[in-house]
């Protein structure tokens, strides 16, 4: 646990005030010190994309159907050849010990208990092997390309060896820095929280910029992956490769052609390109382009079961939750994350029941109307 904790932790329990999934967001600030809270909540730049993610869900209302037989209703789906009891996944979120000493281990065991798929970040505070031990059979590994291909390949081999069933390659954050909100709050990553997965890998030497060269283009972007790197990666793994961070139909089509097994429509929770569209707004055209049967997931702004319903209606097969996961982890550790998943699932089931949808397949665009 980091040294900035507001008060010593009491044993994890779910506060009586938690009545819905979003209550975890409301209460989280009591359990996370202010700078770390700003780091988790913040979005890049003016936070326009962060706000857009949330606002997008308010633009749609649900048109309920009456008199449907829901007695055999369920939330099951099949994705990448595997059956999932519900469409709620834990998004890759780095450095989870920032909010709870058990960090990713707690999230992984919560996911296992609730039959949810967890995506372990490259930047986890516990090693991907330790996380895999706690996780259930549904676990994906989120891969950031490393400066050296040998390091990237080693991460892939480790993920394959420890039972991860897919690689999630995040492509939307070649440049990462804490948000203005985090910097203004004085956030600094505690020195004991490090990306342990990368400890053994060589660090690139400092790039020497020639006169007139840009810190961004010839500096940071000189190591960013390209289509060639993706092709190389796909040729070197047997795991399905899921691409995270897609917002355009042309990219989606190219990725499908290149062999991506699935796509996550995402803008990194508003933490990358400020000014990018809301994930939900980008979803329908991508669904139209890739067709009905191609696996599409969405993250960004999911705060309730109703949000999940709307994402499914607009074309997602499943959703991932980022910040809510950290909120629940901070509030009540593994118990909190498990309770969050159960609550989201219940909220989705209530929404399906009240709108007359017995299965996820019944949740189509015709279930929505503009608000
Ligand atoms: C604190 C924090 C750390 C994150 N770390 C990662 C990461 O390591 N890898 C990644 O692909 N996405 C990361 N994300 C983005 C999430 O996977 C996800 O795209 C985003 O949080 C979804 O939006 P939401 O927070 O509104 O649910 C992070 C998000 C947050 C809030």
Q: Could you tell me where the DSSP H helices lie in 162-207?
A: 180-184
pLDDT band at 8 (very low <50, low <70, confident <90, very high): low
Instruction: Answer yes or no: is the C-beta of 96 below 6 A from any ligand 1 atom.
Output: no
pLDDT tens across 187-197, in order? Answer: 999 999 999 99
For the CA atoms of 350, 354, 355, 358, what is the dihedral angle to 10 degrees?
Answer: 60
- For residues 281 and 304, give the distance between their C-alpha atoms in angstroms, rounded to a whole number: 17
**Domain 23-59+83-197+223-363 falls in which CATH fold?**
TIM Barrel (3.20.20)
Bridge partners of 170? 244
pLDDT tens across 44-88, in order? Answer: 999 999 999 999 999 999 999 999 999 999 999 999 999 999 999
- For residues 4 and 34, give the distance between their C-alpha atoms in angstroms, rounded to a whole number: 9
By alpha-carbon position, which residue is closest to atom 1 of ligand 1? 40
pLDDT band at 1 (very low <50, low <70, confident <90, very high): very low
From the list 60, 84, 268, 327, the catalytic residue is: 268
Specify whether the CB–CB gap between 107 and 142 falls below 8 A: no
Burial class (CB in 10 A: 0-12, 13-18, 19+), 256: middle
pLDDT band at 3 (very low <50, low <70, confident <90, very high): very low
pLDDT band at 223 (very low <50, low <70, confident <90, very high): confident
Closest approach atom of ligand 1 to CA 299: 22
What does pTM read for this prediction? 0.97
Distance in Å, CA 304 to ligand 1 centroid:
17
pLDDT at 37: 98
Long-range contacts of 366-371 (CB under 8 A, 24+ apart): 366/63, 367/62, 367/63, 367/65, 367/309, 367/313, 368/60, 368/61, 368/62, 368/63, 368/310, 368/313, 368/314, 369/60, 369/61, 369/63, 370/59, 370/60, 370/61, 371/58, 371/59, 371/60, 371/61
Active site residue 74: no
pLDDT tops 90 at residue 346: yes
Distance in Å, CA 356 to ligand 1 centroid:
32
Instruction: Answer yes or no: is the C-beta of 40 below 6 A from any ligand 1 atom.
Output: yes
Buried b (16+ CB within 10 A) or exposed e, 183-215: eebebebbeebebebbeebeeeeeeeeeeeeee
User: What 3-state DSSP class applies to 264?
Assistant: strand
């Amino acid at each position: 646990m980091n040294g900035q904790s507001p008060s010593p932790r009491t044993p994890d329990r779910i506060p009586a005030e938690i009545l819905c999934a979003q209550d975890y967001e409301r209460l989280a600030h009591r359990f996370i010190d202010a700078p770390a809270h700003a780091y988790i909540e913040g979005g890049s730049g003016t936070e326009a994309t962060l706000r857009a993610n949330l606002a997008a869900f308010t633009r749609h209302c649900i048109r309920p159907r009456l008199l449907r037989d829901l007695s055999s209703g369920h939330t099951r789906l099949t994705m990448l050849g595997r059956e999932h009891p519900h469409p709620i996944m834990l998004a890759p979120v780095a450095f989870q010990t920032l909010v709870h000493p058990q960090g990713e281990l707690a999230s992984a065991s919560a996911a296992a208990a609730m039959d949810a798929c967890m995506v372990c970040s490259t930047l986890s505070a516990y090693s991907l092997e330790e996380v895999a031990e706690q996780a259930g059979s549904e676990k994906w590994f989120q891969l950031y390309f490393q400066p050296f291909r040998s390091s990237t390949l080693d991460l892939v081999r480790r993920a394959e060896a420890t039972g991860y069933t897919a690689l999630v390659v995040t492509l939307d954050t070649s440049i990462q820095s804490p948000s203005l909100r985090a910097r203004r709050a004085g956030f600094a990553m505690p020195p004991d929280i490090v990306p342990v997965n990368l400890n053994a890998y060589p660090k690139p030497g400092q790039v020497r910029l020639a006169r007139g060269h840009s810190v961004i283009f010839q500096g940071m972007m000189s190591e960013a992956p390209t289509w060639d790197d993706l092709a190389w990666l796909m040729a070197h793994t047997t795991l399905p490769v899921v691409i995270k961070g897609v917002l355009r139909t042309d990219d989606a089509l190219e990725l499908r052609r290149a062999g991506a097994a699935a796509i996550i429509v995402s803008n990194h929770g508003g933490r990358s390109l400020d000014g990018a569209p809301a994930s939900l707004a980008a979803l329908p055209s991508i669904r139209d382009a890739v067709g009905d049967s191609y696996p599409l997931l969405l993250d960004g702004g999911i705060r309730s079961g109703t949000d999940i319903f709307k994402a499914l209606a607009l074309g997602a097969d499943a959703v991932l939750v980022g910040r809510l996961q950290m909120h629940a982890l901070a509030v009540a550790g593994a118990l909190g994350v498990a309770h969050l998943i159960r609550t989201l699932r219940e909220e989705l089931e209530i929404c399906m029941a009240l709108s007359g949808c017995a299965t996820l397949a019944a949740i189509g665009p015709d279930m929505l109307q503009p608000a």
